[in-house]
Structure 1
Amino acid sequence: MKQGEEGRKAAVRILFEQESIRKHARYFFWKYQRHVSSSYTDWEDFYVEIVLRIFQEKEAGRGPRENCEGYYYKLTRNICEEMVRANKKSMEAQKQLMNLDALTGDPEVIEKVVHYIRQMNCKCSTLLYHYHIEVELVRDKKQLVEMLLQKCGKQYTLGSIPVHLSECLDKLCETIHNDPNNLF
C-alpha cells in the first residue's frame, strides 16, 4: 500500500513539473479571470486545481498516454468553461433569489410558498425553507451543506449550493405555475 501511495505522489510531482500545464493554466487564468478569480486568488491556485484534475483523469484511465500537450490545453479550457457556466448559473440563481426575497414579506404569500416547498424533495425543501422562509435565514453555504447532510443524508459541496438553489427555485416556479389548485 505504501508503494502505491509513493507512486501516486511521484505521478503528481511529474505533472507539476510539466511546463505545458503551467503555461496553459497561466494563459487560461488570465483569459477567464473574471470567472475563475471568484474561486481562486491567483493563477498558481488555479494551476494546482488543473494538475489535480489532470491527475484524476489519468488515474481514471482517460486521456492520451503520449503527446499530451493538446489534451492538457483542452482539459484546462474545459475546466474554465465549466466555471463560466457555473458563474452564469450562480448569477441567475442570485437574481431569482432576490425576486423571491421581495415576495416573501407578506405572511399570506409565505404560507402559500411553504405549502409548495413542503411538497418538494428533501434537498429542495431544506434549501428553500432555510434560505428564504425561516425566521433566522441561513445564507452560509457551509451551514446549508451541513443541514442537507443531516436532514437528507447526502453530502453536497459548497460550490454546488447556488446551483442547487437555482434548480430548486426553477422547480418551485414550475410547481406553482402547474398547480391545478391555483393558490397564486
Structure 2
Amino acid sequence: SKNHKAAVYGIVEALRQRFERPIVLVPHCEDYSDDDHALLEGVLKENASYWPDVICLPKLCPAAHIKWVISKLHAFVGARAHATIAAFSSYVPTVSLVYSFKGEGFNHRLFNCLDYVVKKEQCEPEVIVEKLRLVLDNHDEIRKKLQEKMIEVRKGAMRAGHLLKRIISDKGLLER
C-alpha cells in the first residue's frame, strides 16, 4: 500500500541520513498477500538513483542465505520474528519493530527490558533512528549479552529435547 511504501521510504531515508552506512533490505515474507520483497524492491527501485548505498536481497532467497547475510551485519532493524531471531542467534545487535507480544517477549527474555523495541504505535523514523543509535552505542555489550543468552537458550533446547525423547520413549512411540 502507499502507506507502507511511505513508511519504508521514511525509515530508510532517516537511517541513511543519520548513520551514513550501507543498508541491506531483508525481505522475509513473500506470501501473495504480504510480500516484503515486492514492497522493499519497489521502494528501492523508485529511489535507486538517490540510494547507491542501499541493496535488497533477491526474491526467494533461501532462509539459510538470509540468516547468513543477517549474521554478517553490524546491526539489524527488523519486524519479522524469524528475521529478528536470526539476528539474535547470530549475536547481531537488533532493533525489533514489534506488532505483537511475541516480539516484546523475545526482547524481554534476552535483555530483561524493552530498550531496543519499537512498538507498532511508536513506529516513526525518528524513533527507529534513536533506538538504533542506542543499539550502536551499546553494540559490544549487547553482542556479549546475546552470546551469553544463546548459551542458555541452547541448553534449554537440549533439555527440552531430552525430555521429549524420554516422554516419547516411555509411550513406546520411538522406534527401537
Interval containing the TM-score (normalised by the shorter chain): 0.3 to 0.5
What TM-score do the two structures reach when normalised by structure 2?
0.34
Larger radius of gyration: 1
- Name the structure where strand makes up a greater proportion of residues: 2
Q: TM-score, normalised by structure 1?
A: 0.33
